[in-house]
Homo-oligomer: A and B are copies of this chain.
């Protein structure tokens, strides 16, 4: 069988690595072998993904000592105590520091497996196999790993780069509709932070993407990863412009924390967060009403929610935004749009406009 494999290189000096994008990759042992150094492999996956893809991955790893940790599925399990079960398994199996941890699943699995690889014996090898659209376009580039804390998302973690990323688009065939939409939120984000042509391409192809056309999905993943890789290569540790990737995320994290992890998908919260960022940008006079509408339309066509749940009022949203990582000593820093396809990171905006957006989107405080 012939197959199309696109290989992107994420350029981070001695921490550079390839992303393989294509179909029928999971069971292909030739893709894995150059990136595995020792004899011991731990596959970290979850109860949803294991029955679908674990056997295929294992078949590619014939000849190695392969152990498995199967975690419960959902953002509510992205905790330090669940993460510890990965570390326990590595130690119980007496894995040495040449071992490889493979994260097989969505963003939660990638974040936890990567953080375990970062910390076990102060760092072992890591391979990421993202099986959701969101993980393929987001977690596969940038090396962010970690777990949540009851007081904030991703508050405990590390920057840690994998040996390679294997994005098999066949896995998108089994994805729930909700998960597909969540991934598209991040895809739309890339168009909005610096790639207006891609935004327009998405406007022209959203129905095809929602219909899971493989060649359209493949193109969207490649372009998203390319866009993200360019941002990350210029600013690996988020000292500056990497923060652009957080468009919609400060609003989104507040929603996720407010409703309780696992209720909303991360991508769903980002979708609503993008609408809120567009609204605030329009209130500040940086974006015209027509552009705001085009953004809202695309979010809607991607099947994403456009408003926070009614239970979150504006005061609560503001409070939750204030503990986000992007907040510097009590000034809220946001990613806002200054024209369609271009965004900026700023804390220099009228707080009254933010209140306007929060009142519009959060149920009025009683």
- Does A327 touch B at the CB level, under 8 Å? yes
Q: A92-B151, A329-B39 are in contact. Are A144 and B122 (CB under 8 A)?
A: yes
Nearest-Cβ distance from residue A107 to partner chain B, whole angstroms = 15
- Does A307 touch B at the CB level, under 8 Å? no
Query: Which single member of B88, B123, B237 contacts A123 (CB below 8 Å)?
Result: B237
Nearest-Cβ distance from residue A157 to partner chain B, whole angstroms = 5
- Does A272 touch B at the CB level, under 8 Å? no
A interface, size bucket: 35 or more
* A157 and B325 contact, CB distance less than 8 A: no
- Does A213 touch B at the CB level, under 8 Å? no
* A119 and B329 contact, CB distance less than 8 A: no
Q: Which of A120, A122, A237 has the most CB of B within 10 A?
A: A122
Nearest-Cβ distance from residue A33 to partner chain B, whole angstroms = 17
Q: For chain A, residues 139 to 196, give those with C-beta under 8 angstroms from any C-beta of chain B.
A: 144, 146, 149, 151-152, 154-159
CA distance A91 to B323 in the complex (A): 8
- Does A328 touch B at the CB level, under 8 Å? yes
CA distance A237 to B327 in the complex (A): 32
Interface residues of chain A: helix, strand, loop or mixed (majority):
mixed
Fill in one digit per residue for A85-108: 1 if any B CB lies within 8 Å of its CB, else 0: 001100110101110000000000
Nearest-Cβ distance from residue A190 to partner chain B, whole angstroms = 22
* B96 and A327 contact, CB distance less than 8 A: yes
CA distance A156 to B346 in the complex (A): 36
Query: Which single member of B38, B40, B94 contacts A322 (CB below 8 Å)?
Result: B94
* A87 and B156 contact, CB distance less than 8 A: yes
Q: For chain A, residues 308 to 366, give those with C-beta under 8 angstroms from any C-beta of chain B.
A: 322-323, 325, 327-330
Q: Which residues of B contact A152 (CB under 8 A)?
A: 91
* B122 and A146 contact, CB distance less than 8 A: yes
Fill in one digit per residue for A292-318: 1 if any B CB lies within 8 Å of its CB, else 0: 000000000000000000000000000
CA distance A18 to B158 in the complex (A): 24
Query: Which single member of B84, B92, B149, B329 contacts A96 (CB below 8 Å)?
Result: B329
- Does A66 touch B at the CB level, under 8 Å? no
Q: Which residue of B lies closest to A158 (CB)?
A: B122
* B91 and A80 contact, CB distance less than 8 A: no
* B121 and A155 contact, CB distance less than 8 A: yes
* B329 and A158 contact, CB distance less than 8 A: no
Closest 4 pairs (CB-CB, A-B): A91-B151, A122-B157, A121-B325, A119-B156
- 6 sampled A-B residue pairs with Cβ under 8 A: A38-B328, A91-B151, A91-B155, A96-B329, A119-B119, A123-B158
On A, residues with C-beta under 8 Å from B are 38-40, 80, 84, 87-88, 91-92, 94, 96-98, 118-123, 144, 146, 149, 151-152, 154-159, 237, 322-323, 325, 327-330
